[in-house]
Every structure is written in C-alpha cells, then in structure tokens.
Amino acid sequence: MERGPGTFTWAVPASGRAGRGGKLVRYGVKVEDGTGLDAATVAAEIDRVLRDDRGWTRRGVASFQHVTGPPYDMVLQIVSPATADEMCGAWGLDTGGELNCANAPDLVVNVRRWVELSDQYKGRPHDYRALIINHEAGHVLGYGHRGCPGPGKPAPALMQQIKGLDGCVANPWVNDDAGAFIDGPRIP
C-alpha cells in the first residue's frame, strides 16, 4: 500500500514500566490504518526492544512507560510511504517513499522499511526493527549521530546504518552483551 487513509489505531499498553532509572520516556505506538499491521503486535515488538538489557535501560540511562496518547515524549508511528513523505516533508525532509524520519516527539517509520527492512538487515526483521527503535529513542534522549568506530567493529545504534556501514558490522543495540556502550565518532 503506497497511500494510507491518514487515520491511526493506537496500541493499548500491555506491560508496565521498563527500567528503573534515568530519564522517564513516555511513548505511544500507533499504526496507520490500511498498512496490514496490527497495532498490538507492533507495540509488543517495540516493548520487547525497549525492555532488552542491550538497550537504553541498561545502567539506568532511561526508563520507558507505554501510554495510549498524549502527553508523551515520543510516539512511534508506522505509516504508509505516502504518509511518511507528507509527515517528513512538513519538516523539510525528503524520504522519497523509502525512509524513516524523526522530529521529536514524532518518530515516523515507513511501513516499507518495517516490512522490507534495509540491505544491511535482510532476513533479520527483529534486529532491523530494534535498530529503528534504539536509534530514534537515542535521539529523544539527546544523543546525536555517530560514525563507525573502526573496521569490523559493531556499528553504534546511533549510526545511520541504512546509508552504509563504513566497514562496521550491522548492529541494532546500544550496548554489547557485557554492557559496554557501543559508540563511535560524533557526526556533525
């Protein structure tokens, strides 16, 4: 579906607060009607990512509370390509029917990316979706884009991996399994 109706279904929270410390981020999840995606299923995947120990809750950086509407600190919206172009275009961004964008608190995820993934994550839908969520949540927490820290190293979640890996290995997580923050040089 290239163009949705511009109406949305909000996901009802199925879980309590994720994490105990850091900045509390209230987030909503809504899916444009007609995308073929179930809001509850999408929300369950987002909740899983935000609760993962490799994410932003590690070391008390942030905690997350799923809400059903405003007020919120971020709202993850899965939308048709045309709706993504319209929403992102309002902020001066050209997504060409292909890309996601964010202008906090709005995180716009093109359904094409949610379903078809990116070249770096072919066959790994859960990893690519974790990257989208961790990347955009990082921006809401005040983190900017990062570059590749070196050939063969895991790409930071704040790296724009869809644009290429520059020698890094695709990685959707904020922290490695041992809890170390995966960082790279700041990108202006």
Q: Model's pTM, two decimal places?
A: 0.90
Question: Three-state DSSP class for 66?
Answer: strand
**Residues in contact with 39: Cβ distance below 8 Å, sequence separation at least 6, in sequence order:** 9, 10, 11, 29, 30, 31
Question: Three-state DSSP class for 139?
Answer: helix
pLDDT at 14 over 80: no
pLDDT at 34 over 80: yes
Domains for the chain: give ranges and CATH numbers.
Answer: 8-163 (3.40.390)
Q: CB–CB of 110/76 below 8 Å? A: no
Span 79-111, pLDDT tens digits:
999 999 999 999 988 888 888 888 889 999 999
101-133: string of b/e by CB count within 10 Å (b at 16+)?
A: bbeebbbbbbbbbbeebbebbeeeeebbbbbbb
Q: Indicate the pairing of strand 62-66 with strand 8-10.
A: unpaired
| Nearest alpha carbon to residue 188 among 161, 169, 160 | 160
Q: What is the rounded average pLDDT of the residues 21-25? A: 89
Q: 140 or 16: whose pLDDT is higher? A: 140
Q: What is the rounded average pLDDT of the residues 103-128? A: 91
